[in-house]
Amino acid sequence: MDNNSMLDLIARGGYVIFILAFCSLLSVKVIIEKYIVFKGITEKVISEFMENIYNSLTSEDFKEALFICKTSTWNSFLVKIKCPLANVVKYIIEHAKEPKNELEITAYNQLDKEIAKMEKGLGILATLGAVSPFIGLFGTVVGIIKSFNALSINNSSNYTLVMSGIADALIATAAGLIVAVPAVMFYNYFIKRLKLSMPLYDEAIQKTIRIVKAFELRKKHETV
């Protein structure tokens, strides 16, 4: 299909097509941003980050561990991405003297904040995936109403116009689905990536807490 045919098809779809075009651009923007973020926090990246943290903590070099938390970033499509566990681990180290139960609760609260940052924008994809088909359907209904108004005029030549009007109206439904399907697919993909990474985050938090609490306990015994 050439450019002129595509532009003609868009024009025939009516003003709803322009609304859906905006929705499509918004969806593409969110998908690209989230893809870059999630590409930079793969299991390999997180494992390497935590391995460096564990090495520092087991060497009882807490300052180095904090430095790693503050400075460790990874490039993903020329964008610097910070590990979502960096702020969580930093909090655990800085508050190592808190009781273990309280430290766990606050650490998971910090993790929830980091997860919320990663989820930012996914609500837009979910909304576009749910709403776009209805926007397209609205355009189709309006187009069909116009077609039946033309049919109400008793003129046999209008039947061609009616069929053409219905065909044009269905373009809006197709456009709504074109916007909705990628939005829903990528939303599910990102949510799945988050869920699959949760056990890794949980293991990292628990292991970090065990190391810092063991260090605190050893310090107490040395001072007695």
Where do the domains of the chain lie?
Answer: 3-223
What backbone phi and psi angles, to 5 degrees, belong to 73?
-140, 160
Query: How many CB atoms within 10 Å of residue 171?
Result: 21
Q: Specify the range with the lowest mean pLDDT, choosing from 31-45, 71-85, 188-202.
A: 71-85
100 touches 209 (CB < 8 A): yes
Residues 6+ apart with CB under 8 A from 29: none
- Would you call 65 exposed, middle or buried from its count of C-beta atoms within 10 A (0-12, 13-18, 19+)? buried
One-letter amino acid for residue 169 of the chain = A
CA 70 – CA 147 distance, rounded (Å):
63
For the cut 50, the answer to whether the pLDDT of residue 6 exceeds it is: no
Q: Rounded to whole angstroms, how far apart are CA atoms 209 and 142?
A: 61
Q: Check residue 80 and give its pLDDT.
A: 79
- Residue 153's pLDDT band, with cuts at 50, 70 and 90, is low
Structure tokens at 190: 């990102």
- Residue 60 CA to residue 63 CA, distance in Å, equals 9
C-alpha–C-alpha distance, residues 135 and 128, integer Å: 10
Q: Is the pLDDT of residue 218 over 80?
A: no
For the chain, what is the mean pLDDT?
Answer: 82
| Residue 7, pLDDT above cutoff 60 | no
Global pTM?
A: 0.80
* CB atoms inside a 10 Å sphere around CB 19: 19
**In the predicted model, what is the mean pLDDT of residues 38-43?**
80
pLDDT 10s digits, 174-207 = 888 999 999 999 999 999 988 888 888 999 999 9
Asked if 140 contacts 170 with a C-beta cutoff of 8 angstroms, the reply is: yes
- Tens of pLDDT, residue by residue over 109-149, are 999 998 998 888 899 999 999 999 998 888 888 878 777 77
